Structure 1
């Protein structure tokens, strides 16, 4: 080939390449493959559940300036009204299934902020479509669902994040650096506590049904849950106290308070759990038995196997309903233990450290040590901390699967959620009853330790509680179909 032909050939190649590149930039996003977002694009988000926490999630994503809220979906028009007014260009749906069916080519990612019982089905179907997902805490309602979503994130190669914003707070990284530096020795015991619930728990399901609000599609709200008549004030908040829909105080605050122990100590799956629960007064002769409702208070003890960051098993205590552990002797009488009813305390062989909600205000004990000790920064910080939790996910979605490290991807959030739900198994074991003679009952799940087979996802010494590992969905609502 002569030089002129070589030059012409090269020029044609470059011209063709330029045309191809230009064409590539305008190819519709749905042609580019599952989970792919063109680098020049803003992330297009479909949000399912857009009132209350859903509204603040949307605001968190949008504030970063790198996304568009493309679709809004909520079963309650009244609750959705604020978000609809703020994002008038976003198309509104009531049913997420219709949204997915009609618009799947027109969005890149899904935010899920519904009651707990519908998290898994909405999220899993989005992942099957190759959509990135952000899901409010707890990740799921059941242990089976948590394990399924954890595995699905790898299978479908989508960017995932759970909405426990404290995972992006500096405090959790500071405490990890203190621990790695050996400031408190080897941790063997952790206490976490909350003043939740701040909604009704330990009560009987009301006998009188109420009128369904005209703006609410009750059947869609129920979703996977068994059909029941609507009761007053269940929506938008009090569903948390009922096992059909919520996961109690553990589901509400556990992901915020246990994330730091998980990160600092490298713990994942517990090997056993036991629980004591508060009971409700009915009359002078008996205590309440309300198995449909979460208890008013509980104390859970989980045992986690030794990790590369611990010298022995770790005992983790969870307390709710306003119960707190004994104040450490190193803490001054007027110094606040945790913050505003919530907190965490690490007990090591050489010292102690504590923090509040979201691992805010981390302190070595005595607190005077906090200012005296200087440790080199080891872990990168998330810009914006709690607010940056949203931006981090948006930027990771734009970059593509595996390109940006996240604070709470499902590989982290899944095991964390399983631990909380395993604690709930121990709570529910207390309500398993069997008939005895003379019309009385026994409660064989009370006062025992549940032994956990993690590989097979089951309790090995009290089979009756395994019924709560995986719910039967209401007919017409299928997780994998």
Structure 2
């Protein structure tokens, strides 16, 4: 296995092998030959540590381990109960609660790290690992803030590590087929994209609970809060409902858009958007009274992003959540399902349309009758196992090293996942700007204006700045709690 040049334990295995040969002078039969077909020597396996190993973290650690090419050597979780299953299945792995302690103590024993924690912790955990020269697999969304996504993208190249975001649909065959259709000109030049989800399936648009509770004995609440401002523990937040709170989560957009927006991003080769605008669903707490809960994501939203396209043309990209869906294409028959019923993508072009479900699954040309006779050559690399091969796609690239052929076949390296995540989070920046309020001049204490509503936010992508509404820029980058930094 190629070791990363930034690692403190540079060429550990090569040194041992060379020293053995020098001392014996004998011909050594490779261990994989001695072990029979398919055998991988322990010294040739990727040594992996998991940060956040319950729930989706358990799936990530298990997926990496099932590749047969990785050993799980360390585990970290702030919740002992959630970590129990992973610890039972990997009893030899060292266990920690604080990722900083784990990385410091285990840095000479690990090659790569999985990060499967709440959104607000992704960036600091991944960055610390990358600075140590460790390859990283980070759950979606890549980060909580736009600034974090940019910093992670730049760090991946700076430290020459192998990276992958956990949007497994990017390894599927469906998105590759859509790329081939588009490149073959089957829908002409794209003009509009519609993407939607039925999420959230957790509470959003609600006030922060007023009754503080005692954290469970197995949960280190202070470590769970991490970069976020300190608050007293409240019930029904951990392990899942944190997604609806801005301090920790990124709402329906962060949860699903990296899966659903990824196919059109890949098909069309999109970069930074040039503008964003939105509308959000109202929350009513009394007769004709809209609630104002700035700590919580809204119950539904409609985001419109615009991208520059070749030839000076513009692409209009729509995101809808909370059950909002676009108008059905006229090419669909009345009983044909749009997307998968709750989620989906439609790409409209000058000569046709295409549609898919979540993760790019089940792509279709519209009308669907076209799919019975239209075929194009396969020109895109297929990941063995499709979306189920997403973990192995990363493990093999880590073993081969940065710049290898396996590295070039990665489905969602940060060079791709970073710009996608930035565009996803632009939607959240628009939502939070929409709800930005100031007290109305001359009004009473309960009268406010919302200057971010009804306007288009103009985005300077290279400089990460809204140029026409300064209050929006506070949502580009957070201030971390003391003890955490990039």
Q: TM-score normalized by structure 1?
A: 0.91
Alignment of 1:3-402 (within 5 A): 19=22, 41-307=44-310, 312-402=313-403
Q: Provide Cα deviations, 1:389-427, integer angstroms capped at 9, x if missing partner.
A: 100100000000011220000000000000011111100
3-state SS of paired residue (1:192): strand
Q: Are 1:470 and 2:477 matched, yes or no?
A: yes
* Among 404, 413, 417, the residue aligned to 2:417: 413
Alignment match, 1:443: 450
Residue of structure 2 equivalent to 1:453: 460
| Whole-angstrom distance in 1 between the partners of 2:101 and 2:388 | 31
Cα drift, residue 20 of structure 1: 8.7
Q: Distance between the aligned counterparts of 2:356 and 2:19, measured in 1?
A: 60
Question: How far apart are the structure 2 equivalents of 1:89 and 1:182?
Answer: 54
Does structure 2 conserve the Cα–Cα contact (< 8 Å) formed by 1:194 and 1:343? Answer: yes
Per-residue CA deviations over 1:202-230 (Å, capped at 9, x if unaligned) read 00001111220110000000000000011
What does the per-residue CA deviation read over 1:413-458, in whole Å, with 9 as the maximum and x for residues that have no partner? 0000000111111000111101111221000001110000112111
Instruction: Report if aligned partners of 1:126, 1:133 keep a CA contact under 8 Å in 2.
Output: yes
8 Å contact from structure 1 (residues 274, 450) kept in 2: yes
Question: 1:261-296: per-residue Cα shift (whole Å, max 9, x none)?
Answer: 111001110000000000101111320100000000
CA drift at 1:21: 11
Contact kept? 1:194, 1:322, Cα under 8 Å: yes
CA–CA separation in structure 2 for the residues paired with 1:166 and 1:141 = 21
CA distance in 2, matches of 1:456, 1:22: 59
Shift of 1:477: 1.5
For structure 1, which runs of at least 5 residues remain unmatched after alignment? 1-14, 26-37
Report the 3-state secondary structure (helix = DSSP H, G, I; strand = E; otherwise coil) of the residue aligned with 1:305.
strand
Q: Please tell me whether the aligned partners of residues 273 and 450 of structure 1 are also in contact (alpha carbons under 8 angstroms).
A: yes
Q: Which moved more, 1:467-476 or 1:194-203?
A: 467-476
Work out which of the residue numbers 407, 429, 432 in structure 1 matches 2:436: 432
CA distance in 2, matches of 1:21, 1:400: 30
Runs of 4+ aligned residues of structure 1 deviating over 6 Å after TM superposition are 20-23
Are residues 155 and 429 of structure 1, via their aligned partners in 2, closer, same or farther at CA, if it must alter by over 3 Å?
same
Q: How many residue pairs end up in the alignment?
A: 450
- Separation in 2, partners of 1:20, 1:186: 65
> Can you list the C-alpha shifts for 1:97-117, whole angstroms capped at 9, x where unaligned?
110111100000000000000
Give the deviation of 1:478 after TM superposition.
2.0
Structure 2: gaps of 5 or more residues? 1-17, 29-40
TM-score of the superposed pair, with normalisation by structure 2: 0.90
Q: Is the 8 A contact 1:165 1:387 kept in 2?
A: yes
Q: CA deviation at 1:18?
A: 5.2
Aligned to 2:35: none
Aligned residues: CA RMSD: 1.8
- Superposed CA deviations along residues 213-266 of structure 1, whole A, max 9, x for unmatched, are 110000000000000011101000000000000000000000001111111001
Report if the CA contact (8 A) 1:39-1:398 is conserved. Answer: no
Q: Is the alpha carbon distance of 1:16 and 1:76 closer, same or farther for their aligned partners in structure 2, counting shifts above 3 Å? A: closer
